[in-house]
Amino acid sequence: MGSGARVGDTRSAELYRRAVKVLPGGVNSPVRAMRAIGRDPIFVDHAHGAELVDVDGNVYVDWVCSWGPLIHGHAHPALLEALRAAAERGTTFGAPTPAEVELAEEVAARMPAVEMLRMTSSGTEASMSAIRLARAVTGREKTVKFAGAYHGHVDGLLAEAGSGLATQGIPASPGVPAAAAAATVVVPWNDPEAVSRAAAEHDVAAILAEPYAANMGLVPPRGEFLDHLRAVADEHGALLVFDEVITGFRVARGGAQELCDVLPDLTVMGKVLGGGLPAAALGGPHALMERLAPAGDVYQAGTLSGNPLAVAAGLTALRMLDDVAYARLAATTNELADGLRSAAGAHPVQVVGAPGLLTLFFSAEPVHDYAGAAACDLQAYGAWCRGLLARGVYAPPSQFEAWFPSLAHTSEHVARTVEAAQAAFRELDR
């Protein structure tokens, strides 16, 4: 940290002392607290492009990018202009607007399995509603989910969830009714037999998967695993639901379903979809989506759903995502992955990448599931991550979260990161 101030004297520390009195844990979402890496949170003042500036004036290369939404980096001029223009026309009406239709058309044109969508304000709402719809359509109640996957803080989907629960070591949250927990069958990721068994033994409404699991760190599907999910769902009359909140509009123009050529019945979207504002959606074919009210009988609603500011940001963000952008994002991710591998040298780590996503696991073995991710040297990750922060690199403060390269990251940002990573690895040796 450039300021040279003692930790307790920083403005971040002062704000944290005030925050813990009025916000549980001092934050509005658990992973922000940085407890997993043994330090207090950093309060942000502002950010531009790929760089974030904290309230003490420290500058960081930001690889968290708000945990996924900021594929164009912070405060992109085109997004700010779209927001300004939308805000001047009014911030919410509770009535339909032209831009919602345009955004829905844009998404339907991109995502192979999406003909129509229902917008929400968060990924949590979208996955909750997707499960309700799957239950209504199938007349069944159970959901198969994968250990280490995260689908928002929906009661029934918190069992062995990744993201903040993995980070905090919370296997299941108190306050979830037993019936909600019992409606979820948790199986290991990348274990085809376990999926077959679960579908045979239970009345399954939905098999719910992050097609590239990215909330236990990034753990791509192995071999034909996604095809297997499709086949099992078909065999047992369950719906296949892809949670593409992270992968959608990131790993490819049409998400993981396009990249892997496996079509789900329902798709959950969020993060990039809102261009940095609160927007998410569930989507699918007409036959399923028209079960939603008011076209059908499955209730789903939201005061701020399809909010004009969020829709303007999302539409602008998506329209800037052309083939050139995706090629550049993939190249940046590869450059970062190669750099981190060389920085690690002989340290036992695994650098895993997909276009626009990356994780560095502190593990001597390749990681294929949540057990593998949980077996990583979390202490070493924490120390290394603190070392990065001290050198101006803001990496996810948890082994269970992915890095989010953006279109604002340049080779210079990668070089700064690799240099800091090398120094942080050397520090681990001492």
Ligand X SMILES: *Cc1c(COP(=O)(O)O)cnc(C)c1O
* Residue 123: CB minimum distance to ligand X, A: 2
Nearer to ligand X, 198 or 280 (CB): 280
| CA gap 10, 39 in Å, rounded | 13
Sign of CA dihedral 352, 353, 354, 356: positive
Nearer to ligand X, 185 or 246 (CB): 246
Q: Is 243 one of the catalytic residues?
A: yes
Nearer to ligand X, 145 or 236 (CB): 145
Catalytic residue among 54, 56, 191, 243: 243
Query: Which pair of tokens denotes residue 247?
Result: 């992968």
370: nearest Cα among 214, 236, 264, 237: 214
* Residue 313: CB minimum distance to ligand X, A: 14
417: nearest Cα among 363, 340, 359: 340
User: Which residues are CB-neighbours of 338 under 8 A, at least 6 positions away?
Assistant: none
* Contacting positions for ligand X (CB under 6 A): 122-124, 127, 150-152, 210, 215, 243, 245-246, 270, 280
Catalytic residue among 60, 150, 326, 381: 150
Helix axes 98-110, 308-319, angle to 10 degrees: 40
Buried b (16+ CB within 10 A) or exposed e, 238-266: bbbbbbbbbbbbbbbbbbbbbbbebbbbb
Nearer to ligand X, 266 or 280 (CB): 280
* Residue 57: CB minimum distance to ligand X, A: 29
What DSSP line would sit under 326-374, residue for residue? HHHHHHHHHHHHHHHHHHHTTS--EEEEETTEEEEE--SS---SHHHHH
Query: Which pair of tokens denotes residue 155?
Result: 């009661």
| CA gap 214, 407 in Å, rounded | 19
Which residue's Cβ lies closest to ligand X?
123
* Residue 354: CB minimum distance to ligand X, A: 14
Find the radius of gyration of the CA atoms of the chain: 21
Catalytic residue among 271, 326, 381, 394: 271
* Residue 136: CB minimum distance to ligand X, A: 21
* Residue 215: CB minimum distance to ligand X, A: 5
Residue type, 174: P
Nearer to ligand X, 16 or 212 (CB): 212
207: nearest Cα among 198, 216, 215: 198
| CA gap 7, 34 in Å, rounded | 14
| CA gap 333, 86 in Å, rounded | 33
* Residue 278: CB minimum distance to ligand X, A: 7
Q: Is 271 one of the catalytic residues?
A: yes
What DSSP line would sit under 149-210, residue for residue? ----S-GGG-TT--THHHHHT-SS-TTS-HHHHHTEEEE-TT-HHHHHHHHHHS-EEEEEE-
Nearer to ligand X, 214 or 374 (CB): 214
Nearer to ligand X, 282 or 421 (CB): 282
Q: How many CA atoms lie within 13 A of 197 on its CB side?
A: 8
Q: Is 142 one of the catalytic residues?
A: no
Give the residue numbers annotated as catalytic, written as ranges: 150, 243, 271
